[in-house]
Structure 1
Amino acid sequence: MKKSNKISLIALLALFFIAQTSCDDMFEPAIENHKEESDLLNMPLWAAGLLGHVYIGNPLASWQITDVATDNAVINDPNSGLRAMATGSWRANNNPMDRWQNLRSAWNYLNVVLDIADDVNWAADPLVAEMYRDRFKGDAYGMRALLMHHLLLHHAGPGPDGQLLGIPIITEPETVTSEFNLPRNTFQECIDFLIADVNRAIGLLPDDYGDISQNSLVPAKYANMGVTASQYSRVFGDHAKNRMSARIARAIHAQAALLAASPAYSAGSTITWEYAADRMAEVLAGLGANPVNEVDPLGNLWYANNNEIRDFDAGFNPREILWRGNKEQNLGLEQDNYPPTLFGRGRVNPTQNFVDAFPMLNGYPIDDPNSNYNPNDPYANRDPRLAQIVIYNGTTAGHTNAVINTAADAEGNNALNRVATSTRTGYYLRKLLNHTVNANPDNEAGGWRYRAFMRYTEFFLGYAEAANEAWGPTGTGAHGYSAYDVVRAIRQRAGIGVNGSDPYLDSAMGDRDKMRELIRNERRIELSFENFRFWDLRRWKEDLTEPAMGMRIQGGNYTVIPMVESRAYQNHMYYGPIPFSEVTKYDNLFQNQGW
């Protein structure tokens, strides 16, 4: 196995440094904080710390709300990079979506782990050591697939000749003597590499972690080696829950397949809609034989129950959640997004565009003659999710259930454009916020939350999208359920329809185009403010320039504000740029067209 000469570990957590440093260093300073690979082989904490460092930078862990750069929302922070990007300042050297350096640095840590994993002395017990070897290698392969997916999201695009390119694929640890002037691999090669990493991870990891009490429960692979239940639990037990697993690796595969099959990327790979639907179905199969029957009745409110989240056992995942971050108690989101009278900065303001996307309670879009929509009473008889996601005029919020008035002529700072922290659109964000929180600086009280890395609604809607394109609205492929079945279950959960009927959905049963529009709209609502809309519009090659609209209420009259904020994207911005600093350093690293 090829070994690199020296690995810089300066960025590792102090925990791992302290654990391996002797007290003599207080009197004889240690050598510089660098380790040869031979040093790491007998220091499993250091080696595991390399992998832990990647988890710290997990690209799914951010609370960044990119909806404010789309038609879903605006932000009232004039210094926001996303606001500048959406209104015309997106450049290769001014890119708030740049993930090139951070994710490729994390990639290098994973390559180091894979380079040394077979030789590290993970444990004195040889059977335990072998299982640790499998686990850490599988973890690294799965996380590398995750990084590949997000690097493609942020930086894949057409090169000078129009061929869709990804990133330079590097499989060996980089050192100061490595060749950095490398060309980008094709998008197809990157997808193939991701799939190979997923398959390696699946072969090494369990579907789920958890302690076992009986030797008969040890997987055959390890039982045949003589592994006992206690040995297995030491490696794959409760303490490892919510680390990379085979189940999560399949989900990454499904996400990447949906991306590759989408209009913006389909010419760059051989991935088909049928393949994407099959991968989504593999993820959903973890819920049961008929996944549609397992849609979580409260899945769209996964963030809302403070006491339930507080009482989560470590590593526990609710029915809706496939992968999540650690629970924590804070009030940061509320301080940012509560209305001003609740001591918030009112940052994220949903648009009228987004509000208009919610159908009426009977399921019809508001522009359909059958909807019974009343523009003079626009929030009456609407999809119940509107009140769950958006704070609109007259609704309540916060731990005191305070009435929030957003009308231009309302009293107080919640009114439209009243002060710098007031709404710019006539709406405030409710979703993701914990309304038990008190943000009053004189009496602050935080609430419990966690970051949902992956939840099953994403994969239900991903299946619906791909299945509709592959087999039409009612086609099932080999899976026994259709796009129609999924959308019906999601809308029933939301409370859409009258007496169990959903005539608008039924009208799309024989119309792929109409079902496509409906699925995309359901995805817009269900996954709103969870960092999907920005990527969805681009992979669909939908219009990115629809102005962000608002609602002005004055004297009891409702008037749509046609432009709160422009959207100044250009066609080449369906794909993000390679950092300007990188393409100027390396002449083999081609920029995406238009940048």
Structure 2
Amino acid sequence: MKRNIIYLLLALAGLYTAGCKKDTFLQDGSIPPDGAITEAQEWANPDFARNYLNNVYASLQSRYNLDGDGSMLASGSDEAVNSNLNSSINIFNNGTWSPVRTIDDVYSNMYSGIRKANIFLAKAYGSAVIPAQELVTSNAADITYDAQIARLRGQAFYLRAFFEFELVKRYGSMVLVTRVLNSDENLDLPRNSFDDCVKQIVADCDSAADRLPDNAAAWATNNRGRATKIAAQALKARLLLYAASPQYNPSNDLTKWQTAATAAKVIIDGGKAGLYTSYPNIFLWNISGAPYNTEVIFATQTANDATVETNNAPISYNGANGRTDPTQNLVDAFEMKTTGRVITDPLSGYNANAPYTNRDPRLGFSVMLNGSTFQSKTVDIYAGGKDAIGVNVNATKTGYYMRKFLAEAAVWNTSSNTSVRKPWVLYRYAEVLLNYAEAINEAQGTAGMAEVLKSLNLIRARGGVAMPALQTTNAAGNGYVAPTQAELRKRIHLERQVELCFEEHRFYDVRRWKEAETTFSLPARGMNITQTSPGVFTYSPFTVENRVFTAKNYLFPIAQVELNKAPALKQNPGY
């Protein structure tokens, strides 16, 4: 599927051009009097259905660049500050977010994807698909017409569920559209309830899971990247976790938490995914063994360029822009490697005069610190250093640069550039483990403690990370957590913040926990670093910028342009 989408857009343009002749396209032997191609003839072409489905995949969005200048959603949360102070990503933080001033408004794109999926679901049966060996191992039953159509429709069900969830998690609810609407129908429709949306997305996930191969490894090599059974299960598990969370479950119905836990446990027990051995290389598919690794459950098409590095590397690296600058708020979340304790714990061993020593290795994998090495050069963020605050307009605003997602092999802004393969990972197995830990803790409290610790410690034990295991029995020992539901909740939230940083979870997690009015209203903090003698530094935290978050910001506003077309949608509260 890697290049098919690009070719498809060109192909579809040709397919819809009037005047095509039967010897160049049509398979049914007929030509309309005016020479135009009919819809029935399009679907009679043996390649059309598969190519049309590829075009549904085209509605998936890579998330490395939300404003056309390299901004990421991390800068709309307490994870980062964007080095371009004029970036539209700051709309999330400065109190100007409104129906006429939007950012990351996917409303139209997601409904376009839903419409394409609905068309495919309506037309796939009866289309002239030629059976092919799509799977790694196939028996005769797998290559029948019905089996092929079932897998194709399974992908469409998954993609529709994906687009639906993208709308619901932003806007709180949506108009459910499960058939092809015509332009002469009344399209000014009210939104369905959140609960109705959840039921529909779950149904689509189940329909997809029933028809799809288990995981990426089950697809033939040229089909890897397509939807799978485990991708549908992961989407369902995340949806149900959101539905159980305080934002959508204010009465704390424990059965919703248990349902979410069960959905995640299905994936864990299925054994079709696992933690990858290298945390940094989960996302870097130029590395041998990394493409379609066991941890990645679903991802976008892979880009092959160096734009993520150009946008985010420190400014001394071939004119990079240093866009996503991690905050001190995030850096402080990483525990001590030696003790497995948070840095505010008196027993942690944290030293404010050497703040990066003996920290969770994921800090260095995710954040470039003063003295970090990237592409065989030292990152110098201390005052007067080549990457320091204030060196130029693009320099870090926080005293840090993002490290996650950046490839050592990438070369840019030279006469001999080197591109790297990099998808945007949408679902991965570590999140499933975290979803399960959170849901089981909320559903069962201390009765589920063993399961919670097991899931968290699997993540912490990953090769190259090897953090001390969390435990609840030895108050003086490493990794101690008090054996209460509330304390376990804090550590689960912290583990999500660290493990999933910059992957767009924090933006939504803090909202669904109903903590954003406190957490996202705190100032974004950074670190001033002064070199007092060679290799000796002092560290002074400072406020980078103040942030604004009010109750209305838990949901996105419906863009005014959409309300003008369909007033029955009604605006989200407060906008």
Alignment TM-score, normalising by the size of structure 2: 0.85
The structure 2 residue matched to 1:205, chosen from 212, 230, 253, is: 212
Matched, 1:541 2:514: yes
Give the superposition deviation at 1:496: 2.0
Letter of the aligned partner of 2:423 in structure 1? Y
> Residues of 2 paired with 1:121 and 1:296: CA distance?
40
3-state SS of paired residue (1:341): coil
After TM superposition, the structure 1 = structure 2 runs for residues 295-306 of structure 1, keeping only pairs within 5 Å, are 295-299=275-279, 301-304=281-284, 306=286
Matched, 1:485 2:501: no
8 Å CA contact retained: 1:496, 1:502: no
Letter of the aligned partner of 1:135 in structure 2? R
Matched, 1:496 2:467: yes
Give the superposition deviation at 1:327: 4.2
Letter of the aligned partner of 1:190 in structure 2? C
The structure 1 residue matched to 2:55, chosen from 41, 47, 53, is: 53
> Residues of 1 paired with 2:379 and 2:63: CA distance?
31
Give the superposition deviation at 1:491: 2.1
1:441 is matched with 414
Give the superposition deviation at 1:457: 0.6
2:135 is matched with none
1:442/1:59 CA distance change after superposition, 3 Å: closer
Letter of the aligned partner of 1:489 in structure 2? L
> Residues of 2 paired with 1:273 and 1:280: CA distance?
11
1:483/1:300 CA distance change after superposition, 3 Å: farther
Matched, 1:594 2:574: yes
3-state SS of paired residue (1:560): strand
Give the superposition deviation at 1:297: 3.5
2:222 is matched with 239
> Residues of 2 paired with 1:144 and 1:464: CA distance?
28
1:140 is matched with 156
1:553 is matched with 529
Identical-pair percentage: 29
1:275 is matched with 259
2:26 is matched with none
1:319 is matched with 294
Give the superposition deviation at 1:60: 5.9
Matched, 1:173 2:142: no
> Residues of 1 paired with 2:112 and 2:34: CA distance?
20
Deviations 1:94-117 (A, max 9, x none): 211211111011101111111122
1:73 is matched with 80
Deviations 1:417-446 (A, max 9, x none): 221111111111111100122334244223
3-state SS of paired residue (1:472): helix
1:207/1:417 CA distance change after superposition, 3 Å: same
1:368 is matched with 345
Pairs aligned (count): 533
The structure 2 residue matched to 1:422, chosen from 381, 392, 395, is: 395
Alignment TM-score, normalising by the size of structure 1: 0.82
Greater displacement, 493-502 / 34-43: 493-502
Give the superposition deviation at 1:319: 2.0
Greater displacement, 33-42 / 437-446: 33-42
2:11 is matched with 15
2:99 is matched with 92
The structure 1 residue matched to 2:197, chosen from 187, 190, 193, is: 190
1:252 is matched with 235
3-state SS of paired residue (1:88): coil
Give the superposition deviation at 1:180: 0.7
Deviations 1:391-423 (A, max 9, x none): 11112112xx11111112x243x1112211111
Greater displacement, 265-274 / 458-467: 265-274
> Residues of 1 paired with 2:59 and 2:149: CA distance?
23
> Residues of 1 paired with 2:419 and 2:150: CA distance?
40
> Which runs of 5 or more structure 2 residues have no equivalent in the other structure?
1-6, 24-31, 67-71, 133-140
8 Å CA contact retained: 2:331, 2:363: yes
1:161 is matched with none
Give the superposition deviation at 1:321: 1.6
> Residues of 1 paired with 2:514 and 2:155: CA distance?
34
8 Å CA contact retained: 1:73, 1:348: yes
Give the superposition deviation at 1:453: 2.5
8 Å CA contact retained: 1:474, 1:483: no
3-state SS of paired residue (2:298): strand
Matched, 1:357 2:333: yes
3-state SS of paired residue (2:94): helix
> Residues of 1 paired with 2:61 and 2:270: CA distance?
24
Letter of the aligned partner of 1:103 in structure 2? M
> Residues of 1 paired with 2:407 and 2:64: CA distance?
17
1:497/1:150 CA distance change after superposition, 3 Å: same
1:268/1:337 CA distance change after superposition, 3 Å: same
8 Å CA contact retained: 1:182, 1:589: yes
1:546/1:44 CA distance change after superposition, 3 Å: farther
The structure 2 residue matched to 1:153, chosen from 169, 174, 197, is: 169
8 Å CA contact retained: 2:268, 2:433: yes
Give the superposition deviation at 1:505: 7.1
Deviations 1:218-239 (A, max 9, x none): xxxxxxxxxxxxxxxxxx6443
8 Å CA contact retained: 2:326, 2:398: yes
1:38/1:445 CA distance change after superposition, 3 Å: closer
1:594/1:498 CA distance change after superposition, 3 Å: closer
